[in-house]
Chains A and B, each alone.
Chain A
Amino acid sequence: MKLSWIRAQVATEVKERLRSTATVTALVAFFILSFLWIPDPKSHAVSIAWQARDGVTTSGVYNAAYVGAAAAILASFFLSLAGFYLVAGSVRRDARRGLGAILAATPLSKTAYLGGKLAAHCAYLGTVAIFTLASGVAVFLTYGTGPLRIGELVVPFLLLVLPCLVFVASLALLFDVMPGLRGRGGLVIYFFVWTFLLFLLPMQLHGGIERTQRITGWPVYDPGGLALFVDLLERSVTDLVPGKLSIGIDILDHPVRRVVWNGLRFPPGAVLSRLTTLAWALVPFLLSVAVFDRFDPARRASRHRIRPRTASEKGRDELREAAPSGLAPRESLSSLPPFSPSPGILRSVLAESRLIWSLSGPLRWPLLATAVVAAVPGIPGRFGAAGFLLLLAPALSEVGAREAIHGSGGLVFSQPGVPQSMVLWKTLSAVLFVAVLSLPRLMMTVLSPQRALAFLLGGIFVAVFAIGAGVLTRGGKLFTGLYVALLYAAANGLPPLDFAGAFAPQPSLAVSAAYVAGGLGLLALAELRSRPPQ
């Protein structure tokens, strides 16, 4: 491996990514989340709690050990999800910018190139993790009791978060080079990979989520660190009833009993368990090296091969084999039919909406199917709504940044139908797209107007969130990451997060309206930030 290449790669990527709006947005989001995750101890909210043997819900006082452990597991959840979206697409970007072709013509091997990328991802995510650690310190300074023991804040971070980030960085590489995963669909698929591979599977392998007995060994496969976290917590709290540990924001109807908990202790077996994650990280990395096409356009184009032609189509095939050469000599502009253009915002909004549909590619049909199923009452409707809201993520994620991503701004923004406010144009188009697809569900209005209206508001929120985040970050990844995480939390029964009223028994219009208002605020920011296209 060429060390100089790796050094250069690390320095460039860390610098470039740290300067991005996406990084700042992610850090602000984490800062806010930290205070939600470790809420005011006087409130009835709690995120790490256990049922003691006397049946009382108990948690720790906010000493450095508790805050360190809570902030570390939050960082592990958050950075393994948002961190992926922050680093994903790096290889694709090299290909798009033409850098890939230049690198492919050098002696740099696939392993060295991807090794450099992995190191850069790790360095960047590690740097972001340091900032998230600062959020933990901020929480401690706000609510904490007792002395600020830096070691108790830092050690859980080092052992839980960092190995997790290496694994995620490696997965991001795999998603970047694997055909079928490197597009917008891959960004959605990752969410399920994240849920299953990083958290559900390790928990299942280590005694199950609802286990009633304590486990004696250490987790062998635990990239997210949750299985080890649960294990260590169970070992360190003597009066905890196994299987009665709750990790996740919970609002109780009574105050939480707070006891002194001395935090996570990492015996050698636990440390080894975390080091094992580094070995597991090699699996996606080696797979990436195996499948990486080294920017060979022939291998990339193979995905778009034209289907075999029938005999009657052979004649046309011959014409298609080679690019037809030259501009047609006998045609002239005056031979074109006369017409009178009448550009306008309505026509442009319709055109953009239709383009969103066209560019959704194969996702269009499941999107349509889930939109229809979402209209069915009961549980099928809930699944349909969840699927529909999920599939909106890849359909809308790049709309606000499409011209920046593809370099088509010069062609698009010089058209007479495009209004002065690109943000307004994109938003209206995305809202129209969502509204049309929501029609089946809206027809439920007769049965449940509140549910239908909440769904419409939720759809509008998705559209404005996608456009606002897209314009601000000039990409679609951060929107996808944050939105999918929000949707997951909403689907798991947190009423304040149910922006579309799709999961709560009684949808709240106020909640949906609040999300739309927040989205409009984001749009206003995007409008302010969007400069005239250069």
Chain B
Amino acid sequence: MLEIRSLTKRYPGGVLALADFDLTVESGVLGLLGPNGAGKTTLMSILATVTKPTAGTFLWEGKDGVADPLSVRRVLGFLPQDFGVYERLTAREFLVYLGRLKGIAERDLKGRVGAVLELVNLHQVADRRLGGYSGGMRQRVGIAQALLGDPRLLIVDEPTVGLDPEERVRFRNLLSEIAHGRLVIFSTHIVSDVEAVASQIAVIRRGRLVTLATPEELLQRAAGKVFTAVVASDELAQAQSRVPVSSLIRRADGVHLRFVGSGEALPGSRPVEPTLEDAYLFTTELRE
């Protein structure tokens, strides 16, 4: 479905955002995980045909998306990380405008816009100006426009930012539902968001693909590498310098650490079942 070949992006000034990036995926939800500045947004912008790569290309169902961006745009729904809206338009007017740019015929447009507004639960406020919308409501307008064209390739960059916990859960469910027969690329640094929906996870760091695996595979790789230990408060800094810590909780008996690596690193450590967050930390910190 999607084949990325040696994609490289170097920005003016020399910053290398992507370096020889290769990836092949079929339908489902692909979670892109990586720290800030890893290259996730650059990759998504290129796949959304908004940015051109310095070198390399990607194929969508066999068609070159760099040479022929229109072939991708016809099937694309894109939600950028940061996007602006026209504050003097209502949500409905804004979606109608974007629907026209997607090529939706006038006879279908009204129904389509109404339906996606219902889907994101904004139909009651659809005729209010976007200038009066909260951040979460704007994000839902962004989600609505991404779904407007019935996309076969849905690229959503940090889509859950600004959504409340309930909205996040529902959005994740929506992604799972959409993914049948389509490819959803979902970028985030919130591991729990990916955990719930991703059929595959690509971990990116410094513009390179660290690994592509199913969540189960990532968990298996981290099995036996995650430990807990209790340290005194005044030993915490020293412990953190020795092992990558995935979480810590302060209790009466000291600080309960959860870390990845070797159990011998901290005295009194005992192995625990890894979570996806541990597996991600293991992948990025220890496998390089």
Contacts and interface: CB of A to CB of B under 8 A. Distances in A.
Interface of A: 301, 304, 306, 316, 319-320, 323-329, 331-333, 335-337, 339-344, 347-348, 350-351, 354-355, 358-359, 361, 402, 406-418, 532-534
Given A333-B119, A343-B70, A361-B88, 8 more contacts: A319-B124, A326-B164, A327-B171, A341-B74, A351-B97, A407-B84, A411-B83, A415-B101
Contacts of B73: 343, 414-416
Contacts of A416: 70, 73-74, 76, 101-103
Contacts of B80: 410-411
Contacts of A319: 124-125
A12 B174 CA distance: 45
Given A351-B101, A416-B73, A359 B88 contact: yes
Contact of B147 (A333, A407, A534): A333
Contact of A327 (B87, B104, B120): B120
Contacts of B83: 407-408, 410-411
A415 B102 contact: yes
A326 B84 contact: no
Nearest to A327: B170
Contact of B166 (A326, A339, A410, A415): A326
Given A301-B132, A416-B70, A324 B125 contact: yes
Contacts of B87: 406
B51 interface: yes
B131 A304 contact: yes
Contacts of A336: 112, 115-116, 119, 150
Contact of A325 (B131, B167, B177): B167
- Max chain A C-beta neighbours (<10 A), residue from B102, B132, B150, B171: B102
Contacts of A327: 119-121, 140, 143, 167, 170-171, 174
Interface in B145-175: 145, 147, 149-150, 164, 166-167, 170-171, 173-174
Contacts of B122: 324
A347 B119 contact: no
B178 interface: yes
27 contacts: A320-B124, A320-B125, A323-B136, A325-B164, A325-B166, A326-B166, A327-B120, A327-B167, A332-B177, A336-B116, A336-B119, A336-B150, A337-B108, A343-B101, A347-B103, A351-B100, A351-B101, A354-B97, A359-B86, A407-B82, A411-B78, A411-B80, A414-B48, A414-B78, A415-B73, A417-B103, A418-B101
A354 B96 CA distance: 11
Nearest to B111: A337
Contacts of A359: 86, 88-89
The 3 closest A-B pairs by CB, nearest first: A343-B103, A407-B84, A410-B80
Given A326-B167, A414-B50, A534-B51, A333 B101 contact: no
A331 B118 CA distance: 7
Interface in B165-191: 166-167, 170-171, 173-174, 177-178
A328 B119 contact: yes
A204 to B, nearest CB: 38
Contacts of A410: 45, 48, 50, 78, 80, 82-83
B49 interface: yes
B116 A341 contact: no
B133 to A, nearest CB: 8
A408 B121 contact: no
B104 to A, nearest CB: 5
Nearest to B120: A327
B16 interface: no
B274 interface: no
Nearest to B143: A327
- Max chain A C-beta neighbours (<10 A), residue from B50, B115, B129, B149: B50
B252 interface: no
Contacts of B238: none
Contacts of B104: 339, 341
Given A325-B166, A408-B85, A355 B97 contact: yes
Contacts of A350: 100
A407 B104 CA distance: 23
A414 B115 contact: no
Contacts of B131: 301, 304
B93 interface: yes
Contacts of B125: 319-320, 323-324
A115 to B, nearest CB: 29
B137 interface: yes
